[in-house]
Chains A and B, each alone.
Chain A
C-alpha cells in the first residue's frame, strides 16, 4: 500500500529537481535566451533566436525529439495527394475531444469515392494537442509535428490549417521524430506482411476450394 498523498510528494520531488538542476545543467534549462546582448556575451550553447529582427523561425531542430505540438498528415513521398495515407474515414474527426478537425471525402467525376480527403482542416485555436487523433488512426496517416511557430496576423482564416499545409512527407517525419517514425514504419511493415499473408492464405484456400469443386464436378461427370 502506498502512503497517503505520496503521489503529491513524488511530483514535488520532480519539480524540485527541475528547479535546482536548472541552475547547473543545460538540459534542465531548455529555453533559449534571445537576448539583446551581442553573441560573444552569450554562454556557450545558448541560441540566438531570432537571428534577425522580424525573422520567423520555426526551427524543428531546436526542440527535442519528444516535442509534439500539432498534427500533420503523412504522405509517402512524391506528389503529396497521390501517396497520402489518409483515406478520409473520419475516425479522428469523431474522436477529437474539442472537435477541431473537419474532413470531406473526395469523389471522382463519376461520383465514386476515392480514398483520400478533399478537405482536411484543423483549427489551431481549438486543437489542444492531445494526440488522440494519432492514437485512433488505423492508417498511421496523422502524426504529431513539432513545429511550434503557428502564430498568424489573421485570426479567422489564418488559424485554420488546410490540407495542403498539413501534408508532410514521411522523410520529414523521420527527420523530426526518428525513433517514433522508425517504430511506426516497422509496425506498418509487420501489419502489411500479415495482411499479405492473410490474403495469400485466402487466395490459396479459394484456389484449393475451386480445385476441389472442379474435381468433384469431374467426378460427377465421370459418374
Chain B
C-alpha cells in the first residue's frame, strides 16, 4: 500500500515541480518576446537580489510571485465568498490533473510505472472530460464575483469553450481512429520513427484545427475574449487579487502546457526524435522541446493577431472548423482503408486527392463565410 503511494509520489511530484517552474520561465519568455515584437525591451531589471546583476530580468517571475503572495486578498462585498474561493482552485486542479496523462517517459519512473504517471486506456477521453471542468471554474469565478464585467467574461467563456471543444475533440478522433486506441502510450508508440500524424494531409488539417481550438480553449489570443482587457477589464478575474489571481494565472499556463502536450502526443510523435536509441532519456527532452515550440507559436500569434469579435469567434467555430473537422474524419477514414492496400501508388493518389478535398473545402467555406467589407460610412460628415 505504502509502496504504491511512493510510486505515485515519485511519478507526480516531479511533474508538478517541472511544470510549475516552466510556468515561471514561460511568463518571462512571453513578456520578453512580446516586448521585442513591439519594439520594447521587456523585463530586464530584476535579477539576483541585493546586486546589480540583472540576468536579462530572469528574476522577474520570482519577484512577481512574492508580490502576489503578499498582496491583500480582496473579496467584493456582494460576492459569494465560498465560490469566489473555490473557482481559482477548480481552475488549477483539472489542469494539473491532466498532466499525469501525458506520455512523458521519465527515466526514474521506468522501473516503477513504465511510461506515464497514470496509465489509463481511455487517457484521451479522460483528458477531454477533465479539461471540460475548466469552463465551470471560469463561469464560477464570473458568477461569484458579482460584477457585470466578470459575469460577461464568464458567459463569453462558456460560449467559446463549449463551441471550440467540438472541433477539438473531432480532430483528435482522427488519430484515435488511425491507432485504434485511446491510450496515450499506444498513440506515441504508433508514431515512432518519424511516422508523425502531422505529416499527412488529414493529420495536418486535424493538427491545425486542434491547435486553433486549443488556443480558444485556453483563452489565448486571438481568442482571449473572456478576459479581454480592453473590453471587459479582465473578464472573469476582474475581482481577483493576490494569490487567487496567481492561481488563475498558473492554471491558465498549466492548461496551455497540458493541451500542447496532448497535441504533441496526438500529432507530433510524443517523445519521438533523433538520438533516442543511444539515450532513451532524451524522449523527455524532445517532448518538452515540442511543447515549448508550440507555446512559442502561441506567444508569437499573441504578438501578431488582434482579438476577434464575438460573432466572428462563434462563426469561425460553427461555420468553418466544425464542417471541416467532420469532413476530415471522412477523408481520414477513406485514407486509412487506402493505406491498408500497401501500395505506393494508391497512397500517393490518396494523398493528392485528400489534400485537394481538404484545401478546396477550406477555401470554399472561407468564401461562403466571407462577409462584405465596406469602408466606414460617415453619418454626419458629407
Contact = CB atoms under 8 A, between A and B. Distances in A.
Interface of A: 1, 4, 8, 11-12, 14-16, 18-19, 22-23, 28-31, 33, 91, 94-95, 132, 135-136, 138
A169 B136 CA distance: 57
Contacts of A8: 301, 304-305
Interface residues of A, dominant DSSP: helix
A31 B39 contact: yes
A15 B362 contact: no
Contacts of B40: 29, 31
A29 B381 contact: no
B300 interface: yes
Interface of B: 33, 36-41, 44, 300-301, 303-305, 359, 362-363, 366, 376, 378-382
Nearest to A27: B39
B381 A15 contact: no
B205 to A, nearest CB: 11
A94 to B, nearest CB: 4
Contacts of A22: 36-37, 39
A140 B359 CA distance: 49
Most buried by A among B363, B378, B381: B381
B72 to A, nearest CB: 21
A136 to B, nearest CB: 4
Given A4-B366, A8-B305, A33-B41, A91 B381 contact: yes
B41 A4 contact: no
B100 to A, nearest CB: 33
Give me the 4 closest cross-chain CB pairs, A-B, nearest first.
A136-B381, A94-B380, A11-B304, A31-B40
Contact of A15 (B303, B366, B379, B380): B303
B36 A16 contact: no
A196 to B, nearest CB: 20
A148 to B, nearest CB: 14
Nearest to B381: A136
B36 A18 contact: yes
Contacts of A136: 378, 380-381
A1 B363 CA distance: 10
Contact of A31 (B33, B37, B41, B304): B41
Contact of B37 (A19, A23, A95): A19
A15 B300 contact: yes
Contact of A138 (B300, B376, B381): B381
A95 B379 contact: yes
5 contacts: A4-B362, A15-B304, A19-B303, A22-B36, A94-B379
B378 A12 contact: no
Nearest to B38: A18
Contacts of A31: 39-41
A95 B380 contact: yes
A12 B304 contact: yes
B288 to A, nearest CB: 22
B316 to A, nearest CB: 12
A148 B67 CA distance: 29
A23 B362 CA distance: 38
B39 to A, nearest CB: 5
Most buried by A among B37, B300, B305, B382: B37
A138 B41 CA distance: 41
Contacts of A29: 36, 39-41
B363 A91 contact: no
A72 B376 CA distance: 23
B380 A18 contact: no
A206 B13 CA distance: 95
Contact of B381 (A11, A28, A95): A95
Contact of B300 (A1, A4, A12, A94): A12
Nearest to B364: A4
Given A12-B301, A15-B300, A29-B41, A4 B379 contact: no
B379 A18 contact: no
Contacts of B41: 29, 31, 33
B38 to A, nearest CB: 7
Contacts of A94: 379-380
Contacts of B37: 15, 18-19, 22
A33 B43 CA distance: 11
A28 B41 CA distance: 10
A1 B304 CA distance: 23
Contact of A19 (B36, B305, B362, B382): B36
A14 B304 contact: yes
Nearest to B33: A19
B382 A138 contact: yes
Contacts of B304: 8, 11-12, 14-15
Contacts of B33: 19
Given A33-B41, A91-B380, A132-B376, 15 more contacts: A4-B359, A4-B366, A8-B304, A11-B304, A12-B304, A15-B37, A22-B37, A22-B39, A28-B39, A29-B36, A31-B40, A94-B380, A95-B378, A95-B379, A136-B380
B264 to A, nearest CB: 21
Nearest to A46: B41
A168 B300 CA distance: 40
Contacts of A135: 378
Contacts of A1: 363
Nearest to A14: B304
Nearest to B365: A4
B378 A16 contact: no
A12 B221 CA distance: 14
A97 to B, nearest CB: 10
